[in-house]
Structure 1
């Protein structure tokens, strides 16, 4: 259970508490247009975008936990979590989710992707925070 459910729940919570909050803060600072917690319908499902992002993030939380081999008896891979979130989630968003919704990568993407990269990297860190907080340690002898 701990190998699938915990990363799934951690990915979902990290999307809500870390990624979306980071986007909201970046919007408040005037750095990005989208303001986190978007209630615009995510097509084709019709659910709010922030819920759809959290569900996708749940799946990637499981993948991240498996790739980084996160376990209670190992030290936490903080840098790996930041890099995984920043690179993998941003790349999936640009090259898979975007084209599926009719948005193709074009032009100078760095100004648009930098804040998204930051929010996704914070998501990766947040997944690790939740996983480490919820992981069961072995019974003391």
Structure 2
């Protein structure tokens, strides 16, 4: 259970409490135009964007927990989780998800990449926070 369900739940919660909150704070500080917790429908599903992002973040958290070998017996990979979230999720957004939605990388990508890196890096850190909080030290799981 600690290898699949807990990282999944951790990634979902980290998306809501860390990624979307970071976007909301950056928007409140007038640094970015994108506000957190977007309720725009994500096509073709029709679900709110923040909910779809949370589901995908949950799936990415399982991969991150496996790659970084997150466990209570090992030291927490804080920097690696921060970098994983910032680089991997931002690259997946720009080069996979957006082209599937018809949004192609063009023009000055730096503001978009910086915003994506900041919010996704906070997600990676937050996912690790939740994973470490939820995992028990008993080896039976």
TM-score (norm 2): 0.96
- Give ranges in structure 2 of 5+ residues lacking alignment: none
TM-score, length basis structure 1: 0.96
Which runs of structure 1 show a deviation greater than 2 angstroms over 4 or more consecutive aligned residues?
none
Cα shift readout 1:93-131 (whole Å, capped 9, x = no counterpart): 000110011100012211221021100000000000000
Does the 8 A contact of 1:31 with 1:115 survive in 2? Answer: no
Aligned residue number for residue 59 of structure 2? 59
What 5-or-longer segments of structure 1 have no aligned partner?
none
Determine the C-alpha separation between the residues in 1 that align with 2:9 and 2:74: 20
Report the CA distance between 1:47 and its aligned residue.
0.2
Deviations 1:16-54 (A, max 9, x none): 000000000000011111100000000000000000000
Match of 2:54, SS state, is: helix
2:107 aligns to what? 107
Secondary structure of the 1:10 match is: helix
Give the length in aligned residue pairs. Answer: 139
